[in-house]
Structure 1
């Protein structure tokens, strides 16, 4: 019964994301207009479109050994292994979470619930196709889909930071399907493990 309630909450959250007004504005309005994040509160995204922020060194991430020690406290070996996955790829122009991603995120949620001082930065990325504004909005939707899942799974929203880099930080260089597939992603980065 508990799983049914959790799935209902998650489904409601994901459905609300599908009606993202940022995409509507891009499709119906002026595609060159600046896009401002519309979300407020602890899950408000940081849409990054300036070179200084994009090139800023990352926050001090958890050392692999510290994250492994936290993961070792999870009750199941599969959960301990799942939290080592920190990159999730998406289909072209999609931001929905599949069951494989959801299963791994459930383990991340448990780790965050057990360690309230630990923070997670969720960054959304896209491939190079599309306008810069569209890609920032799509990266935002991808990162918010992950953040919404984690919050629905019981993670305190103040532990989460959502950022969209759009196409600005590619994982792979190139203009082919292989590079694009690697660049359509969300990355998770932990801090505060020590």
Structure 2
């Protein structure tokens, strides 16, 4: 009797699932194209209809000067070049008030692990404080220090060290 119940249960389940199968449409819709109303127009982040969602990380990457600022050896002060980059980030963040960011602090491989983590934290917070002074709410920003754990350039020369002394702004999805 249990075998009969099991067979009936399996048969019923199979029929129920077969009725849910998705059928392929006879004719596929055309691929999306740029509409004449947005062709050639540009918005604050670039061309309208380019497939990049406003407020996304891709929009941020193409709209700002850079997502990375660099620092001198054992320094965490914001120099004029970093100010220009952070100013463009602040403008984008003000146009996108619901976006949250994380600012990562990084160091080169020289120094102890503890020293580099502390320096990376000071670098990330220097960028955060600058953006806050430009009107970006601190509640939208978090910081993290990776010290020398995530180098962008491998090598033990000044060129690699210079690339690794940085703070990177990441838009949270």
* TM bracket (short chain): 0.5 to 0.7
Deviations 1:26-68 (A, max 9, x none): xxxxxxxxxxxxxxxxxxxxxxxxxxxxxxxxxxx9342x336
1:122 aligns with 2:103: yes
Once residues 115 and 62 of structure 1 are traced to their aligned partners in structure 2, the CA distance between those partners, rounded to angstroms, is 9
Deviations 1:125-146 (A, max 9, x none): 0001000000000000110000
Once residues 123 and 57 of structure 2 are traced to their aligned partners in structure 1, the CA distance between those partners, rounded to angstroms, is 25
8 Å Cα contact 1:89/1:181 also seen in 2: yes
TM-score, length basis structure 2? 0.64
Task: Give structure 1 regions of 4+ aligned residues with deviation exceeding 4 angstroms.
Answer: none
1:62 aligns with 2:56: yes
TM-score, length basis structure 1? 0.57
- Would the alpha carbon gap of residues 90 and 63 (structure 1) be closer, same or farther in structure 2, given more than 3 Å must change? closer
Deviations 1:62-90 (A, max 9, x none): 342x336xx7xxxxxxxx4xx14011111
Q: What is the aligned residue count?
A: 119
In the other structure, the counterpart of 1:102 is: 83
- The gaps in structure 2 that reach 5 residues or longer are 1-54
Partner SS, residue 95 of structure 1:
coil
Alignment of 1:13-162 (within 5 A): 62-64=56-58, 66-67=59-60, 80=63, 83-162=64-143
- The gaps in structure 1 that reach 5 residues or longer are 1-60, 72-79
Larger RCO: 1 or 2 (CA < 8 Å, sep 6+): 1
Match of 1:180 among 146, 149, 161: 161
Once residues 162 and 63 of structure 1 are traced to their aligned partners in structure 2, the CA distance between those partners, rounded to angstroms, is 17
Q: CA RMSD, aligned part only?
A: 1.8
User: Larger Cα Rg: Structure 1 or Structure 2?
Assistant: 2
Once residues 110 and 163 of structure 1 are traced to their aligned partners in structure 2, the CA distance between those partners, rounded to angstroms, is 22
1:170 aligns with 2:151: yes
Query: Following TM superposition, by how much is the alpha carbon of 1:104 offset from its aligned partner in structure 2, in angstroms?
Result: 1.9
